[in-house]
Amino acid sequence: MNLKADRKRVFSGVQPSGSLHIGNYLGAIKNFVGLQDDYDSVYCIVDLHAITVWQDPAELKENILEVAAAYIASGIDPRKATIFVQSQIPAHAELAWILNCTARIGWLNRITQFKEKAGKNREKASVGLYAYPNLMASDILLYHSHLVPVGDDQKQHLELTRDIAQKFNNDFSASGGKDFFPIPEPMILSAGSRVMSLRDGQKKMSKSDPSSMTRIELIDTDDQINRKIMKATSDAMLLPEKVDDLEVRPEAKNLITIYSAFADETLEKVVARFKGKQFSRFKKELAEVVVENMGPIRDEFIRLKADKSFIVKVLDEGRERAAEKSTPVISEVKLIVGLG
Ligand code: TYM
């Protein structure tokens, strides 16, 4: 098996389920870029996860290409990192089934994202939505990944992945003597790992919120970015004197966190600069720093979106590389379990 590459492996994924926003960028994609030089990096477009809630088929197809364009526009270099589509590697679904048989129902019952997404309509949620974290474990374990950069909302899924890997290793320890799956480590950076809605500092910024005023999307023009930030909910006070004061002011905390992530400055430094100032003045500077960072990414994103043949070529090459990395693992899993 060719799993002894000297570089450790990074794996992560983004769902093609709507317009990407600065939460996805700051919480995940920006960190993918920083890892590609030092790790064997595998970045997936997780379309099988997207269909756990209904997707318009034509839009899904477009969204898959858009996530690839967003990865590249954000700085992921397809010559360094493997960019590919989950459903093009059937082993993801195959291993997910095997892991469905490893994971316990009690473990999945504790997953808060299912509770939030299914809401009161639990009985009507798809079985896929419930089993979603097992598919995510499959994505990660199929590549014998060591490190998984994600936003804070994925923490519980990562813990489940580690539990599944451990149980699989224990259940089948007699067959090989040695643990088969490495136990993956989450990488959740503090700056930007939890970007909140621009309209409600208690809610996560999300692709699925019906109002696009709650999020800054990758596709937004400079004017839209300005307008959304100027209209973002704040509170009636001046900006605080100390970072601790932000704890009871979620909207202020969110805007200052976004500034800090884009400007690459600590919260302390940002608070010290704007303390006692009006929100209107701060928001103007926040809009400037967001436009400065996101403007070039947006322009490149739009250019790449129009260059479909290039994106398709990247994804074809990615599929080949992903197959090379995952085929030995799924073959070995089947041998270990006694299948086929
Ligand atoms: P998804 O598509 O919801 O989000 C993609 C990445 O963006 C992060 N993110 C955020 N970070 C900060 N603030 C926010 N408001 C925010 N919203 C989203 C997410 O944490 C994520 O890192 N289950 C995953 C996709 C997935 C995956 C995987 C990730 C499938 N298989 C294997 C890692 C490894 C998801 O739904 O992400």
CATH number of residue 185's parent domain: 3.40.50.620
Residues 19 and 127 in one domain: yes
CA angle 215, 26, 115 (to 5 degrees): 65
pLDDT at 156 over 50: yes
Q: Is the CB of 153 under 6 A from ligand 1?
A: yes
Residues 48 and 16 in one domain: yes
Task: Indicate the helix (H) or strand (E) that contains 49.
Answer: helix 47-50
And the tokens for 282?
């701060």
Q: Is residue 212 part of a domain?
A: no
Q: Is residue 4 part of a domain?
A: no
pLDDT at 6 over 90: no
Q: Is residue 256 part of a domain?
A: yes
Q: Is residue 211 part of a domain?
A: no
pLDDT tens digits for 292-301? 999 999 999 9
Domain residue limits at 276: 219-303
Distance, CA of 290 to CA of 80 (rounded, Å): 27
| Residue type (1 letter), 108 | L
pLDDT at 84 over 60: yes
pLDDT at 5 over 90: no
Residues 318 and 282 in one domain: no
Residues 188 and 70 in one domain: yes
Task: Indicate the helix (H) or strand (E) that contains 309.
Answer: helix 308-337
Collapsing DSSP to helix, strand or coil, 217 comes out as strand
Residues 71 and 144 in one domain: yes
Atom number in ligand 1 closest to CA 154: 20
Distance, CA of 200 to CA of 51 (rounded, Å): 27
Residues 110 and 155 in one domain: yes
Distance, CA of 242 to CA of 251 (rounded, Å): 15
Per-residue pLDDT at 44: 98
Q: Is the CB of 204 under 6 A from ligand 1?
A: yes
b/e map 261-283, b = 16+ CB within 10 Å: bbbeeebeebbeebeeeebeebb
Helices 279-306 & 250-263 angle (0-180, nearest 10): 50
Residue carrying the six token digits 């959740």: 188
* Residue to substitute in 9, 10, 11, 14 for testing ligand 1 pocket (most ligand atoms within 8 angstroms of CB): 14
Distance, CA of 44 to CA of 25 (rounded, Å): 15
Q: Is residue 206 part of a domain?
A: no
The burial class, CB within 10 Å (0-12 / 13-18 / 19+), for 120 is exposed
Residues 231 and 177 in one domain: no
Residues 314 and 298 in one domain: no
Collapsing DSSP to helix, strand or coil, 84 comes out as strand
Output the CA–CA distances (angstroms, integers) from residue 131 to 30, 121, 136, 282, in the order listed.
Answer: 28, 16, 9, 43
Q: Is the CB of 68 under 6 A from ligand 1?
A: no
pLDDT at 336 over 70: yes
Which has the higher per-residue pLDDT, 1 or 306? Answer: 306
- Averaged pLDDT for residues 37-49: 98
Q: Is residue 213 part of a domain?
A: no
Percent of the chain with pLDDT over 70: 97
Distance, CA of 142 to CA of 251 (rounded, Å): 39
Per-residue pLDDT at 177: 65
Residues 151 and 34 in one domain: yes
- Averaged pLDDT for residues 269-288: 96
Per-residue pLDDT at 2: 41
Q: Is the CB of 193 under 6 A from ligand 1?
A: yes
- Averaged pLDDT for residues 170-190: 87
Residue carrying the six token digits 């009507």: 124
Residues 37 and 147 in one domain: yes
Q: Is residue 72 part of a domain?
A: yes
Residues 292 and 322 in one domain: no
Q: Which residues contact 3 (CB under 8 A, 6 or more apart)?
A: 144, 328, 329
CATH number for the domain including 262?
1.10.240.10
Tell the residue nearest (CA) to atom 37 of ligand 1.
14
Average pLDDT, the chain: 95
- Averaged pLDDT for residues 8-31: 97
b/e map 211-236, b = 16+ CB within 10 Å: ebbbbbbbbbeeeebbebbeebbbee
Per-residue pLDDT at 121: 87
Q: Is residue 2 part of a domain?
A: no
Q: Which residues contact 275 (CB under 8 A, 6 or more apart)?
A: 239, 240, 241
- 173 C-alpha vs ligand 1 centroid, how far in Å? 32
Q: Provide the domain count of the chain.
A: 2
- Averaged pLDDT for residues 136-165: 98
Percent of the chain with pLDDT over 90: 93
pLDDT at 174 over 90: no
Output the CA–CA distances (angstroms, integers) from residue 51 to 16, 54, 71, 85, 119, in the order listed.
Answer: 9, 6, 20, 13, 18
Per-residue pLDDT at 190: 79
For residues 196 and 159, the answer to whether their CB atoms sit within 8 Å is no
Task: Indicate the helix (H) or strand (E) that contains 161.
Answer: helix 155-171
Give residue 178's pLDDT band: very low, low, confident or very high (50, 70, 90). Answer: confident
Per-residue pLDDT at 3: 44
User: For residue 198, which of 263, 265, 252, 271 has the smallest C-alpha distance?
Assistant: 252
Give residue 58's pLDDT band: very low, low, confident or very high (50, 70, 90). Answer: very high
Residues 38 and 183 in one domain: yes
